[in-house]
Amino acid sequence: MRTIYLDNNATTRVAPEVLEAMIPYFGDLYGNPSSAHSFGGQVGRKIGEAREKVAALIGADPGEILFTSCGTESDNAAVLSALSTQEGKRHVVTSRVEHPAIKGLGLHLSQKGYRVTEVPVNRDGILDMDFYEKSLTPDTAVVSLMWANNETGVLFPVEEAAEMAKQRGILFHTDAVQAGGKIPIDMKKKSAISMLSLSGHKLHAPKGIGVLYVRKGTRFSPLIIGGHQEKGRRGGTENSASIIGLGVACELALRRMEEENTRVKSMRDRLEAELLARIPKSKINGAPSNRLPNTTNISFESVEGEAILLMMDELGICASSGSACTSGSLQPSHVLRAMGVPFTMAHGSIRFSLSVYNTDEDVDFIVRELPPIIEKLRSMSPFWTPEVGVCATAAG
Ligand code: PLP
């Protein structure tokens, strides 16, 4: 059975060019990049080249790039560094729709006695900028706002938010894990962003490699303390193969940015338009005009997202749902809840996230196969009244 993979915000396939570049570093080129001998030194030089390629993707200087183990580590390192370099300040500002990498950290910090403000979003997932501005106080050490939402693809105005923070002497971090490689990012232009996170496995590099951009002049306190690696900012022998692979992935992403924003975007737009036209009571979650080019999150009223996923899985279609089976109860995601998506819609939400490896045939297949799946599930739903096509009871 063919796999039709539209779950690229969860993870991406490793690009063949990336894999090819990495293989020698699992084999003959196993030297330690920090070694004094030239056998290790050649690996160190390759890491240096990768650093330049990563920097080029986001318009940074190579010296501002720090390799980590994942996006989650980068997010943690940024916020915790901001707190430990400004011990007098005890307040963190973030949003209600952050990835658990920041949301979980915020909860941990609030349990440790820090004050954490989560800025709300509206029904379209757009940040409440008035609330944001009012939440910035002299006690605020750091703001951490995601550039692009992993569930809806909605973009936050991070440059504007960073400028507002900078005017008040507040450090600004952005989780750009989903934005990296999909939309242009330029840290060289007059940007007030101090720190930015990326993750390799969202842009066709392997899992287990991340990046933290730290703007020159930003005080930084390491999360992983140990060796001298990464100029003392992140201890631990480098994940050479993955770093080298990530360099190639960033080079490819830069070259494919145009395709991502034209061909991939038009496949996403067609998928969305055709599903909305063929399936009654379906609706996009998130501001349609202000989103990543590859992501759509669609709610199908009165159907269980997990059931849709299971039936699509039988056909080889991979996507994600906006509800997760946690502790026996199907809870809609915190993102859709923060947006105020009604229960019967949030439960039936599916995220499709495309990549340059998708084709028009993938879209055709889903457009053909999904409507009968929804119809079948609705015919079994106690909440669906077919003759009027509405939800009879709104539970919860
Ligand atoms: N931030 C966002 C917005 C994400 O989507 C993810 C992964 O899904 C992460 C952070 C965490 O990245 P990683 O899986 O590399 O830890």
Distance (Å, rounded) from C-alpha 228 to C-alpha 237? 9
| Distant-in-sequence, close-in-space partners of 314: CB < 8 Å, separation ≥ 6 | none
Count CB neighbours of 156 within 10 A.
25
Buried b (16+ CB within 10 A) or exposed e, 54-67: bbebbebeeebbbb
* Residue with CA nearest ligand 1 atom 8: 10
pLDDT of residue 391: 40
Alpha helices, DSSP H only, in the chain?
16-22, 38-57, 71-84, 100-111, 129-135, 158-167, 240-259, 265-278, 305-313, 334-338, 343-346, 360-380
Residue 247 alpha carbon to ligand 1 centre in Å: 19
pLDDT of residue 393: 35
pLDDT of residue 377: 96
Distance (Å, rounded) from C-alpha 152 to C-alpha 173? 20
Walking along the chain (396 residues) 10 residues at a time, the average pLDDT comes out as 96 98 98 97 98 98 98 98 97 98 98 98 98 98 98 97 98 98 92 97 98 97 95 96 98 98 98 98 94 97 94 98 59 92 93 98 98 96 62 35
Instruction: Please state whether beta strands 329-332 and 195-199 pair in parallel, antiparallel, or not at all (unpaired).
Output: unpaired
| 118, amino acid identity | E
pLDDT of residue 394: 33
Q: Is 76 in the pocket of ligand 1 (CB under 6 A)?
A: no
pLDDT of residue 189: 76
Residue 385 alpha carbon to ligand 1 centre in Å: 39
Identify which of 31, 34, 78, 294 has the alpha carbon closest to the alpha carbon of residue 183: 294
Q: Is 344 in the pocket of ligand 1 (CB under 6 A)?
A: no
Which of 178, 195, 246 to mutate for ligand 1's pocket (most ligand atoms within 8 Å of CB)? 178
Which of 177, 242, 295, 334 to mutate for ligand 1's pocket (most ligand atoms within 8 Å of CB)? 177
Residues known to be catalytic: 325
- 3 state SS for 289-323: CCECCCEEEEEECCCCHHHHHHHHHCCCEECEECE
* Residue with CA nearest ligand 1 atom 14: 71
Q: Is 71 in the pocket of ligand 1 (CB under 6 A)?
A: yes
Whether the model pTM is above 0.85:
yes
Instruction: Please state whether beta strands 349-353 and 282-284 pair in parallel, antiparallel, or not at all (unpaired).
Output: unpaired
* Residue with CA nearest ligand 1 atom 9: 71
Q: Closest ligand 1 atom, CA of 210?
A: 15
| 31, amino acid identity | G
Q: Is 150 in the pocket of ligand 1 (CB under 6 A)?
A: yes
Q: Closest ligand 1 atom, CA of 73?
A: 16
Q: Is 18 in the pocket of ligand 1 (CB under 6 A)?
A: no
Q: Closest ligand 1 atom, CA of 98?
A: 3
